[in-house]
Amino acid sequence: MPRATRRRIGPTAGSALLLVLAGLLLLAVLLSLAAGSRQIAPSVVVDALLHGGGSDDAQVIWSLRVPRTLIGVMAGVALAVAGTVMQGITRNPIAEPGILGVSQGASVGVVCAIAFLGVHSLNGYVWFAFAGAGIAAVAVYVIASGGRGGASPVKLALAGTAMNALLASVVSGIATTDARALDEFRFWHVGSLSGRSAEIAGQTWPFLLAGLLLVAAMARGLDALALGEDVAKGLGHNVPLLRILGGLGATVLTGVAVAAAGPIAFTGLAVPHIARALVGADHRWVLPAAALLGPVMLLVADVLGRVVFPPSEVPVAVMTALLGVPFLIALVRRKAVVAA
């Protein structure tokens, strides 16, 4: 096993590092509120947040950038933590939130809502995205549970890959036979923080909290799974239950992110590896580090997408890939990318 998987960080160093990451998150939030096609001074941003006001800058901040930033923080936390859990329960270093068909399931829910149910707003898509994500995850687990050995990591990955292919075909079939559905679905499917309202955050935050609580309850179980199923059983853990709870938590978290912002790839794959490179393999540190790094990556990517080709915007899903690939390549070359 690579040395990075055995490294443990002390409480003092871990706490200090989390404080640094929290500071980076605060800076990323401030940057997200200040930067864009209309540049606003940080002092004006702080004054608008503390005192409100009726100036044009304050209106832009509260009506457009605060909801956008809030959705970015929520989606970043959800994707990063979900990716960490998926890599832990499958012991697969390239696992990411879409491995159980969750993202494609959400896409099926949205495209069906547009094509067959007459839903034409982001606020309306949320619930159908959640429903599709949940149904897809359950179907993958049921398929993987059949036969000998139950829902092993390999069977989960294979079932998830097959389900992703099936659901992608369903999405393509519906979208390409309905021009209006294709136009609306393309806007959601590109993965963006633009145009999101505070109402979406209000609809999804309870699910984000529930997913985080599920994951926090099984952090020690993820450490045991990293040592192997037999060792985890010897330490008194119920491995099938750990996988069910982990899969449920990751599904809920991925559903939050996909429902609110559309499919955003790579954040859930890259951030857990970056977190482990910083804090070691102990999930009591990896999970909070990933939860802080995820929104930093997403907000910085969103800001760059807003300013690189003004007045047009590059969707955040495109920017996360452009930013994340160099980090992951660097970690691979240093042999620091490891399974949980």
Q: Where are the domains of the chain?
A: 3-333
More confident site: 26 or 224: 26
pLDDT at position 74, please?
Answer: 96
The per-residue pLDDT for range 5-37, each reduced to its tens digit, is 456 677 888 899 999 999 999 999 999 999 887
Give pLDDT, residue 7.
63
The pLDDT of residue 90 is 82
Whole-number pLDDT of residue 271: 92
CA gap 288, 291 in Å, rounded: 5
The residue ranges of DSSP E strands in the chain, in sequence order, are none
Measuring CA to CA, which residue among 160, 180, 184, 335 is closest to residue 254? 160
Under CATH, domain 3-333 is a member of which superfamily? ABC transporter involved in vitamin B12 uptake, BtuC (1.10.3470.10)
44-103: per-residue pLDDT in tens? 899 888 887 778 888 889 988 999 999 999 999 999 999 999 888 888 787 888 777 888
Nearest-5° angle of CA 115, CA 120, CA 126? 95
Alpha carbon of 169 to those of 104, 110, 165, 261, 330: distances in Å?
10, 14, 6, 22, 34
**Do residues 171 and 230 make contact, with C-beta atoms less than 8 angstroms apart?**
no
Radius of gyration, CA atoms only, the chain: 20
pTM metric for this prediction: 0.88
Over 50: is that where the pLDDT of 2 sits?
A: no
**3-class SS of residue 91:** coil
Residue 331 has pLDDT above 70, yes or no: no
- Whether the CB-CB separation of 286 and 18 falls below 8 Å is answered with no
- Give yes or no for residue 4 having a pLDDT over 80: no
| 3-state class (DSSP) for residue 284 | helix
pLDDT at position 192 over 90: no
Could you tell me the two tokens for 242?
């750990």
